[in-house]
Structure 1
């Protein structure tokens, strides 16, 4: 079969990979030409390139990629169509749905599997991972995926895997930017929301708009909501959860809420309390998320905290002598608000390092404009970050966070090695 993939952001690239791995032919297209195709692992010795004006075509035996234009005739002669979530509210999406060729309308067996979606600003990946371990320890066969930016295979991959194998439960990480898309793509039995925070405001426009999108998404579903989010108690099928009270290896008050959500959903599914508690007690923090290391005299807390609410939740718990922040992309103005929050807690030192992009100049401008009067240091690479960590490791506490999951993971790996040596 042949599938068209329209829109080559993270989700689109993941869809191409999944389709090719399932021996489909793919026509992929994006109106932009500056698309990063590295994750497709294309061998450039085996492909043909064609350029004309601002258009680029790349092709091999089972993949054609058009950049700079969409060949609509080719798209609608394909057997199925995968559409980027970012295009969901466009006229093109309407045409795809009316054609009956959207992939979620053509292959529907996965919609018969009990499906749980976890959404919210922070904590989605951790909550899903906790719930997955509980379910598997209870003997369930679990299919997991969703928000490709969160590290999972994308939404399309869930559909393709469910076509090939039988599963008891599907767990979907639902990015807050893809609520309407996922509402169409999946038939959710349960939704859990972790929290509502200041992220992706370039898409939502405001917190109120984000809340309204959630309200629309929740309609007709059983929803688990943090007890403090009173605005969602208007729904008849809302069930509340609180912080998990038993022992956890993971650190942070917010992880107690993540565990509370996973635990309440598991209890709703009538899973054994002993399995739930034992699983959560032994749950290890996943790569890139908050971990704690000991180096010399210092406790070092490190994890991806890519918006101001995520940072504030940790800084409320503890004072940090030095705070290291990975910088966001240049167009993500709302994520620079992290620096406003960090400045309010007045650490002795703020260390800036390139996170998602090298936007250190923008970060310096923000810190100067809000009047932060502590030391500001710049770490341009991993070695320089570690050198600053070593310098401050005789202070009580250090926090490393901000944007750039891959950068955070690399720092975690180096710190783990150093902490083992120091032991």
Structure 2
């Protein structure tokens, strides 16, 4: 019996352990921190041995195969030891993909993954297909493979999950964009991070499809040096010669049988970046032979993702918007770009090597006050104080929302779009967004 050791007792770890048990592995799960009660209950229900608050090396180094959760750094000493002794260290998506022959639509990119993945799932579900949603969103892919029988999987995939693949091969891969993010994990090399994103297509064959954004400079810069065997389907908002193209007025996905055409104002998602995301999803749906009318209807009635440019309330003529999912500069860029009114911007958290330069044009034009929400805000204050006269610091959500409300005038927008990770003050971006909504409701 082969020994599978799972490192990390969160969603992906527990899903892998359950699938491993089902596939007759001798499974052991180890987490250096505490495991949540809900996950412990799942492990116990399936009779899986586990430990928490420690990694016992002799129980780990004897593994035939190790699944490491995406949150564990590649540089961790234990991972280095495993690799030195030649043990295969893989990600959950790699492990799960070995036990399903369903069609896989995999979506990666620095920004827009969750929205595009949710939209893709919505389109396929509305079209009546037997489809599961997982990966970096909702339920782990491994748990779905262990417990469900879907014909299609739509997966949101991070660069960390792609780093540890060996044979993972999606039928349709979508690369939305590549902007600097998580560079601390890639030796501060943008190229290394970009190569990681391109791993989504490395095992694809000429029977598969690779959809990518022709307007994204880094993608275009890199693609020449990558051996892409899959059918390439670029989409663009600049090059009208592409089959998948949108401008400010119309949206097209052209093919040999008439294609799909609709007006931009019919799309349910707002903002230029979301037209691009919609284009990617529509291109994939068309490849999968979903009826044009069905794609169109789904693009029109899709409800946006929680914590992503989510309108909360309008109080005293002030709009409050929750974009807590904007954990990097590029995501905040899209949020600021889509602001129509004078803005009070809530920013800050755990900095990931941020460069705020690209936000300056929007900040100068649209933002009149900044509310910092974080334990260490010096970088934000230093960078923006020459341009914004009102910058206040807060270290909890209650003060933050009260300060923002005081600074806003009727007709303004208060935008929570932090451009940073949330782990200095919160349990995650969802917790940050939920607290924001709760404090706004108390105003």
Q: Per the shorter chain, which TM-score range? A: 0.7 to 0.9
Question: Relative to structure 1, is the Cα distance of residues 65 and 336 closer, same or farther in structure 2, using a 3 angstrom cutoff?
Answer: farther
The one of 146, 154, 172 aligned to 2:135: 146
Question: Are 1:398 and 2:409 matched, yes or no?
Answer: no
Q: Which residue of 1 aligns with 2:149?
A: 166
Extract unaligned runs of 5+ from structure 2.
Answer: 237-245, 252-262, 423-428
Counterparts of 2:50 and 2:317, CA distance in 1: 56
Question: Does the 8 Å contact 1:324/1:350 carry over to 2?
Answer: yes
Asked if the contact 1:5–1:16 (Cα under 8 Å) also holds between the matched residues in 2, the reply is no
Q: Could you report, residue by residue, the CA deviation over 1:102-149 in whole angstroms, capped at 9, with x for unpaired residues?
A: 995698331x211111000011011011010111111111122112xx
Alignment RMSD (CA, Å): 3.8
| TM-score, normalised via structure 2 length | 0.72
Do residues 287 (structure 1) and 302 (structure 2) align?
Answer: no
Question: What's the counterpart of residue 7 of structure 1?
Answer: 7
Check 1:220–1:126 CA distance in 2 against 1; reply closer, same or farther (3 A cut).
same
Which TM-score applies when normalising by structure 1? 0.75
Report how many aligned residue pairs link the two structures.
Answer: 380
User: Matches of 1:271 and 1:104 in 2, distance apart?
Assistant: 27
Give the aligned partner of residue 116 of structure 1: 105
Q: 1:218 to 1:67 in 2, by over 3 A?
A: same
Provide the residue aligned with 1:52 in structure 2. none
Match of 2:15 in 1: 18
Alignment of 1:318-397 (within 5 A): 318=339, 321-329=342-350, 332-334=352-354, 344-345=364-365, 347-353=367-373, 358-359=374-375, 362-368=376-382, 371-372=385-386, 373-391=388-406, 392-397=408-413
Between 1:241-250 and 1:120-129, the stretch displaced more is 241-250
The separation in 1 between residues aligned to 2:147 and 2:401, in whole angstroms, is 46
CA contact (8 A) 2:370 2:392 kept: yes
Aligned to 2:425: none
* SS at structure 2 position matched to 1:390: helix
Determine the C-alpha separation between the residues in 1 that align with 2:27 and 2:142. Answer: 16
**Counterpart-to-counterpart distance in 1, 2:10 and 2:193:** 26
Choose from 194, 205, 208 the match for 1:211.
194
The aligned counterpart of 1:83 is 68
Q: 1:169-180 alignment to 2 at 5 Å? A: 169-180=152-163
Q: Is the 8 A contact 2:180 2:190 kept in 1?
A: yes
Instruction: Please give the alpha-carbon distance, in whole angstroms, between the structure 1 residues aligned to 2:203 and 2:163.
Output: 14
CA gap of 1:64–1:180, structure 2 versus 1, over 3 A, is closer
> What secondary structure is seen at the aligned counterpart in 2 of 1:411?
helix
Asked whether 1:231 is paired with 2:232, we answer no
Q: What's the secondary structure of 1:203's corresponding residue? A: helix
* 2:430 corresponds to 1:411: no
Gaps of 5+ in 1: 48-59
- 1:297-347 Cα shifts (integer Å, max 9, x gaps): 2333331211111222232343653433343326x2337778867755572
What is the distance in 2 between the residues matched to 1:104 and 1:252?
34
Change (3 A) 1:178 1:336: farther
- CA distance in structure 2 between the aligned counterparts of 1:28 and 1:341, rounded to whole angstroms: 48
Q: Residues of 1 paired with 2:398 and 2:51: CA distance? A: 38
Corresponding residue of 1:50 = none
Among 164, 169, 172, the alignment partner of 1:187 is 169
How much has 1:29 moved relative to structure 2?
Answer: 3.0
Question: Residues 387 and 370 of structure 1: is their aligned pair in 2 closer, same or farther, counting only changes over 3 Å?
Answer: closer
Q: Secondary structure, in 3 states, of the residue corresponding to 1:378?
A: strand
Shift of 1:22: 6.9
2:28 equivalent to 1:27:
yes
C-alpha distance in 2 between matches for 1:23 and 1:115: 20
Query: In structure 2, how many angstroms separate the alpha carbons of the residues matched to 1:99 and 1:314?
Result: 37
Conserved? CA contact 1:254–1:313, under 8 Å: yes
User: CA-to-partner distance for each residue in 1:346-404, whole Å, 9 max, x for gaps?
Assistant: 72210122xxxx42xx2134413554342112344333333234331514333221143
> What is the Cα deviation at residue 277 of structure 1?
1.2
Determine the structure 2 residue equivalent to 1:57.
none
